[in-house]
Structure 1
Amino acid sequence: MKTQKKGELFELVIPDKWKNVTIETILRNHWQAPKKLIHSLRMAGDIKVNGESISWTQPLSPGDTLQLHLFKEVEYDVPPTYGEIDVLFEDDHLIVINKPAGIDTHPNHQETDSLANLVAFHYQARGESCRVLHIHRLDHDTSGAIIFAKHPLSKAILDRLLTERQIKRTYRALVHGRLKQKKGTISEPIGRDRHHNTRRRVSPSGQDAVTHYKVLEYKNPYTLVEVQLDTGRTHQIRVHMSHIGHPLVGDILYGGKPIFKRQALHAARISFPHPLTGEWIECEADCADDVGL
């Protein structure tokens, strides 16, 4: 699918497979954009075809150029903070970053030392005016691949892809003990621990949570595992591995021993279809510190 950015416009050339589609069907069926966002685009007159405003129900032809006013001047929603980031993938619509351990994904209050602040500085240095829109989070002491969208349409589509489990996240974790099963699935609901503000626990009244794991290597007295998530509950991997008797090394909150300064958990790979073009994107993230991963 041929696309390009011209100033504040995103241009998409209608492919042969979209013969006789309309603006309405592209937004509602192909991209499945939220109704509120579609209404906003319509009211603002933000979509044209071949430079002209047309009816959203008029059939389009292969070769027509769909023009969307996506890249508007906006103020940064978090203050930019000088610093380097490890970019794994970036285009006009999203950025994937290898988050270091020891940093929050997004400021909780007025902090200026979160990953989002560094991303804002990265946009500023590139001369881009973008909101810092995270699609998912990683814990303060978890490193690895994380996605940010650059505009509301990209965020809306990526949010849906995450909900539909089309964004595949693969983690590496070092756990205590020797897992007897080479692979397995933990399907236990997770809820808040009423006795501890920051802890989560397996609870019959919690939210559904599904974690798949497989053994990569035995490192006595530890086991290196690869983990994939069907759901994204807070502390999910840490809670589930602790629940089966194999807490993460360094994760003192859930029974791990302080062998390292943090829990040995890293988001090593993320893959997903591009929100606007459908192109498959796959990113590998190296672990920057030595926690056995």
Structure 2
Amino acid sequence: MVKTSRKGSWYEIVVPEEWTSFTLDQLLRHIWKAPKKMIHSLRMDQKVLVNGQSPEWNKLFTRGDKLQLRLFEEEESSAVPAYHPIDVLFEDDHLLILNKPAGMDTHPNEPGQTNTLANAAAFHIQSSGETLNVRHVHRLDRDTTGAVLFSKTALAGAILDRMLEERQIKRTYLAITDGLIKKKKGKIIKPIGRDRHHSVRRRVSPTGQKAVTNYEVTRLMREEKKTLVRCSLETGRTHQIRVHFSDMGHPLSGDTLYGGSSSYGRQALHAVKIELFHPFTGEALSCHAPFKDNPEIFHNIDLSTI
């Protein structure tokens, strides 16, 4: 794991042996794949140093070099800080993972909105004495619960966005469907587009965007005539899991928008785990999100086995 430390507004990385085959320019452009505009800004504003000096961008790193990046500068939050109780699953200088409750949007959808998870994240950062712009890396539907990843700096956010696009961030979901699914595991590959008859709904459509959902039956709930399934996504389309299972003839329980029963007060969908390698240190991170529903929706599940 790469050795790092924070010193005020600067982030210091001790260059490991495996970095000695590339340059600072290659690190930013080809390893981290930071946006060109961001790299230009770091360079022009002298926010990158090596051993305390202006760097030679095309010189190979030497093991033990101290790479310093000015990442932690004051920046106004794009979401209005507003207090809401939150469940922090992981936090360091760069990342924040929160456990989203039901009935809360991930981010504001209109100016001045203050009742979202992003508002709560901004307040959390502010209350720790920092002025940083926390950014959501992905989102969950209003009534879907579980792990949501935020970045705390612009560079971390850019790297995480790229990791998400390249499927280097794995998100695992648990869902309860209506009916008993006979096939134990499968891959649903059906494009999803807007439903022109409904402003909110999505539907399987040959002209839609590619959407791939992997699923595995975890438990057949025979008495309730329901199925507990574990899902992972290869794409991140709006309402993807909900649309795919509805199209299968097994809508999520509680998901009345897509034909599900009214068994629960919301769709039975929970983002139970998120896994990734830390964008700077390379540390393997794995966070489980405990269930928060009252009354419970998901019963007798050992999160450590997922």
TM-score (norm 2): 0.94
Alignment partner, residue 46 of structure 1: 47
Aligned AA (1:73): E
The one of 241, 245, 249 aligned to 1:245: 249
CA shift for structure 1 position 12 = 0.1
Give the count of matched residue pairs.
293
Give, in whole Å, the separation in 2 of the partners of 1:228 and 1:30: 26
Deviations 1:162-206 (A, max 9, x none): 011111010000000000101111100000000000000000000
1:236 matched to 2:240? The reply is yes
> RMSD of aligned C-alpha atoms?
1.0
Aligned mates of 1:92, 1:34 — CA distance in 2: 21
Instruction: Name the aligned partner's letter for residue 183 of structure 1.
Output: K
Equivalent in the alignment of 2:266 = 262
CA contact (8 A) 2:291 2:298 kept: no
Q: Could you tell me how far 1:29 is from its partner in structure 2?
A: 2.1
Q: CA deviation at 1:61?
A: 1.1
Q: Distance in 2 between matches of 1:170 and 1:238?
A: 14
Contact residue 80 and residue 113 of structure 2 kept, 8 A: no
Which residue of structure 1 lines up, in the alignment, with residue 136 of structure 2? 134
Q: Cα offset for 1:81?
A: 0.8
Moved more, 128-137 or 168-177: 128-137
Identical columns (%): 56
1:198-233 C-alpha deviation (Å, 9 max, x unpaired): 000000000000001111111121000001100000
Q: CA shift at 1:59, angstroms?
A: 2.5
Please list the CA deviations of residues 245-280 of structure 1 after superposition, one character each: whole Å capped at 9, or x if unmatched.
Answer: 000000000001111110000000010111112211
Q: Given the two structures, how large is their TM-score scaled by the length of structure 1? A: 0.98
Q: Which residue of 2 aligns with 1:69?
A: 70
Q: Which runs of 5+ in 1 are unaligned?
A: none
2:221 is aligned, of 175, 195, 219, to: 219
SS class of match (1:191): strand
Say if 2:32 is the partner of 1:31. Answer: yes
Deviation per residue, 1:61-97 (Å, 9 max, x gap): 1111000000001112211111221111111011111
Amino acid of the structure 2 residue aligned with 1:23 = L
Please state whether the residue corresponding to 2:198 is helix, strand or coil: coil
Which whole-Å CA distance do the structure 1 matches of 2:126 and 2:252 have between them?
37
1:165 maps to 167
Residue of structure 2 equivalent to 1:292: 298
Secondary structure (helix, strand or coil) at the match of 1:169 reads: strand
- Comparing 110-119 with 75-84, greater Cα deviation is found at 75-84
Residue 189 (structure 1) aligned to one of 191, 197, 201? 191
1:225 and 1:192 map into 2 onto residues whose CA distance is 25
Q: 8 Å contact 2:107–2:116 — kept in the other structure? A: yes
Spell out, residue by residue over 1:119-171, the C-alpha distance to the aligned partner (whole angstroms, 9 max, x if none).
01100111122112111000000000110011111011101110111110100
Give the partner amino acid of 1:69.
Answer: R
Shift of 1:20: 5.0
